[in-house]
Amino acid sequence: MQIYGQTIASRLMLGTARYPSPDILKRAIEASGAEIVTVSLRREAAGERAGRKFWDIVRETGVKVLPNTAGCHSVREAVTTAQMAREVFGTNWIKLEVIGDADTLQPDLFGLVEATRILSDDGFAVLAYTTEDLVAADRLVEAGCRVLMPWGSPIGSARGLNNVYGLRAMRARYPDLTLIVDAGLGVPSHAAQALELGYDGVLLSSAVALAGDPVAMASAFKLAVAAGRLAFEADPLLPRDMAEPSTPVLGQATLGGAALQ
């Protein structure tokens, strides 16, 4: 898939938070095959060195990083966080989150569009955490966003794709834009479904990090993403309301009905 001109072979992007240990995080990244992982920024006390330790672990894996603006509830917070992330991580990529609702962690689409415009004008490559709302999507594209990341369902909810119709409509609206389902995936079949719909990729975090065996789950998601993409490229059968015989009826012997009476 294409992320702002870069070809990324893996269609799975992985979060780095809430793993049982740094070692399991490293092994899960390797098992997932992810080439991009999400990272964040937080306050650090002098001499704490926690940021350095984490950053060293990520760099050892050799993957690209996608900084996020998680926890930002205003345009100003998100923009300042993005600017700080660009300096710390040395990338102009930003997973832009402007949270609008504390219960659902639903994005504030109005703030998101405004922050996207500011950051795009400042040279950022914005990957916008959004909903499946097509009007907001149009505004985001107008503001310079080239990678839309609609939610499957609320962050961490593990509910999968809540609005398949909406996601399908977004895919149809933007056949050439990179679209990634971000948030709410719980099990590999959810990821497979997103890829079957034609989504370019998925971004997931808790589904792997909080699984009983994160490394095995990372492998499972890798397989599901590959299966979903292959299925999409194979042009899946469309659902229908009534049955259609899978065995041909032409030439079937007449062995029942009136002839036997």
Partner 1 sequence: MKIMLNGAPTDIAAKTLADALAELGYDDGPFATALNREFVPAGERSATPLEDGDAVEVIAPMQGG
Query: Residue from 24, 41, 141, 164 that binds partner 1 (CB under 8 A)?
Result: 41
Stretch that binds partner 1, among 11-19, 159-167, 187-195, 220-228 (CB under 8 A): 11-19
Query: Residue from 88, 177, 187, 226 that binds partner 1 (CB under 8 A)?
Result: 88
Strand bridging mode 93-96 / 147-150:
unpaired
156 annotated as belonging to a binding site for a ligand: yes
Q: State yes or no: residue 152 binds partner 1 (CB under 8 A).
A: no
- For 68-103, letters b (16+ CB in 10 Å) and e give bbbebeebebbbebbeebbeebebbbbbbbbbbeee
Smallest distance, Å, CB 2 to partner 1? 23
Stretch that binds partner 1, among 1-9, 50-58, 165-173, 193-201 (CB under 8 A): 50-58
* Gap between the Cα atoms of 60 and 16, Å rounded: 14
Query: Residue from 7, 9, 42, 252 that binds partner 1 (CB under 8 A)?
Result: 42
Is residue 40 within 8 Å of residue 67, measured between CB atoms?
Answer: yes
Catalytic residue at 26?
no
Edge-first strand listing for the sheet containing 12-15: 12-15, 201-204, 178-182, 147-150, 125-130, 93-96
Which residues are within 8 A (CB) of 122 and not within 5 positions of it... i.e. 6 or more apart? 83
Tokens of 216: 């095995």
Smallest distance, Å, CB 203 to partner 1? 9
Which residues are within 8 A (CB) of 2 and not within 5 positions of it... i.e. 6 or more apart? 8, 178, 200
Tokens of 205: 């975090």
Query: Residue from 1, 15, 33, 137 that binds partner 1 (CB under 8 A)?
Result: 15
- Distances, alpha carbon 13 to alpha carbons 3, 151, 156, 189, 210, in Å: 12, 14, 15, 16, 16
Smallest distance, Å, CB 75 to partner 1? 12
In the complex with partner 1, which residue's Cβ is closer, 167 or 183? Answer: 183
Smallest distance, Å, CB 190 to partner 1? 16
Q: State yes or no: residue 205 binds partner 1 (CB under 8 A).
A: yes
Q: State yes or no: residue 102 binds partner 1 (CB under 8 A).
A: no
Smallest distance, Å, CB 41 to partner 1? 4
Query: Residue from 3, 29, 31, 67 that binds partner 1 (CB under 8 A)?
Result: 67
243 annotated as belonging to a binding site for a ligand: no
* Gap between the Cα atoms of 110 and 258, Å rounded: 70
Q: State yes or no: residue 60 binds partner 1 (CB under 8 A).
A: no
Is residue 154 within 8 Å of residue 106, measured between CB atoms?
Answer: yes
Tokens of 54: 């984490």
Q: State yes or no: residue 68 binds partner 1 (CB under 8 A).
A: yes
Interacting residues toward partner 1 by CB under 8 A: 15-19, 25, 38-52, 54-55, 58, 67-68, 70, 76-77, 80, 83-85, 87-89, 155-156, 205-206, 209
